Amino acid sequence: MSRRPSRFLLGGRRYSPAASLLLAAPFLLLVAVIFILPLATLLHESLFVPAPTTAHYARAFAEPVYLRVMLRTLRIAALVTALALLLAWPVAWAMSRSRGLGLALLGAAVLLPLWTSVLVRTYAWMVLLQRNGVVNQLLLQAGLADAPVRLLYTEGAVVLAMAHVLLPFMVLPIYSALKGIPEEYSRAARMLGASAWSTFREVTWPLALPGVTSGCLMVFLLALGFFVTPALIGGPQQMMIATLVSQQVREMLDWPFAGALVGILLVFVLAVTIAFKRAVRLDRFVGSA
């Protein structure tokens, strides 16, 4: 069959726009059919059903219940991002400084959860946090509590479980940023009189910032639209926007309002992405030495 090597496989070659489009076509088609089309339909409903109107959007901002859900979504996403960053940095640091078996073990510890279903990981947290769960039993046995503490269905539980689920998305970009910083930089800083803390503040952190920013961006955006974990671990008091959308669609059958909520989430996501990209671009001029 092979008369000549495929032109597309030749390394370093630039494809014509037509060829590029052809290569990407199956993927673009899939995205268009299963993502863009339904989203467009939903957004169309939010603006044109029953007649051209902005009423659905106005309602989302007018009613305190919905406004609270939106604010809570932003707050939880921010808390999850902060907690994930705090937990991810030491792991990423350790990974960037390990080799061989140590790196393999750490890598597995970070990646294995990523390959496990979110549902499974969320149920694991339910087992840990429930009234007669592992954590409560430990608290009782240690004498730190007299009666089982309410852990499940609290905002803290939601933040903790989401941070855990999203942790790999924070660890990996930070790890790759730290790995790219030659050891010579921190050695040079130490030599020039910087303490360990100054070396971190003046050299390591600024150089790792692009990785930190993309990790934060990814975790924040995923957290904004997160459904499974807040739905199972949070109670009605912890409802986030994705759960609200699902409720509107499945229980209220209010497609136009669900569309408006999706539109608002979309605006959040775009705004945050643009803001983060701006921040990252500020570090772009660094270049390689």
Question: Contact region for other proteins (CB under 8 A) — 49-57, 112-120, 162-170, 188-196?
Answer: 188-196
Exposure of 171 by Cβ count < 10 A (0-12 exposed, 13-18 middle, 19+ buried)?
buried
- Of 119, 192, 270, 275, which one interacts with other proteins (CB under 8 A)? 192
Considering the complex, state which of residue 146 and residue 183 has its C-beta at the smaller distance from other proteins: 183
DSSP secondary-structure letter at 240? Answer: -
Tell which positions 256-285 bind other proteins, by CB under 8 A. Answer: 283, 285
Of 25-33, 88-96, 97-105, 177-185, the segment contacting other proteins by CB under 8 A is: 177-185
- Does residue 180 touch other proteins according to CB under 8 A? no
Of the pair 90, 206, the CB lying nearest other proteins is at 206
**Which of residues 188 and 267 has its CB atom nearest to other proteins in the complex?**
188
Q: Quick one: which H or E segment has residue 163?
A: helix 155-179
Q: Does 116 bind other proteins (CB under 8 A)?
A: no
> Which residues make Cβ contacts (< 8 Å) with residue 257, sequence separation at least 6?
46, 56, 59, 60, 248
Residues touching other proteins: how many (CB under 8 A)? 23
Q: Which is nearer to other proteins, 82 or 194 (CB)?
A: 194
Kindly indicate which of the ranges 107-115, 183-191, 246-254, 264-272 contains the residues binding other proteins, using the contact rule CB under 8 A. Answer: 183-191
**84 part of the interface to other proteins, by CB under 8 A:** no
Candidates 68, 97, 187, 277: give the one binding other proteins (CB under 8 A): 187
Contact yes or no for 100/108 (Cβ under 8 A):
no
Q: Are 133 and 127 in contact (CB under 8 A)?
A: yes
Amino acid at 27: F
Does 287 participate in binding other proteins (rule CB under 8 A)?
yes
Ramachandran bin of 194, using left for φ above 0, alpha for ψ from -120 to 50, beta for the remaining angles: beta
Residue 235: left (phi > 0), alpha (psi -120 to 50), or beta? beta
Taking the C-alpha atoms of residue 73 and residue 228, their distance in angstroms, rounded to an integer, is 14
The answer to whether residue 54 forms part of the interface with other proteins (CB under 8 A) is no
DSSP state of 49: S
**How many Cβ atoms sit within 10 Å of the Cβ of residue 208?**
26
Count CB neighbours of 195 within 10 A.
Answer: 10
How many Å separate Cα 171 from the centre of its chain?
A: 11
Give min distance, CB of 2 to other proteins, in A. Answer: 44
Q: Which stretch binds other proteins (CB under 8 A): 14-22, 95-103, 151-159, 201-209?
A: 201-209
Is 212 an interacting residue with respect to other proteins (CB under 8 A)?
no
- Number of neighbouring beta carbons within 10 Å of residue 162: 30
Stretch that binds other proteins, among 78-86, 202-210, 236-244, 245-253 (CB under 8 A): 202-210
Instruction: Kindly tell me which of 4 and 284 has the beta carbon lying closer to other proteins.
Output: 284
Of the pair 173, 210, the CB lying nearest other proteins is at 210
Q: Which of 185, 227, 255, 276 binds other proteins (CB under 8 A)?
A: 185
Q: 3-class SS at 117?
A: coil
Interface residues toward other proteins, by CB under 8 A: 182, 184-185, 187-195, 198, 202-203, 206-207, 283, 285-289
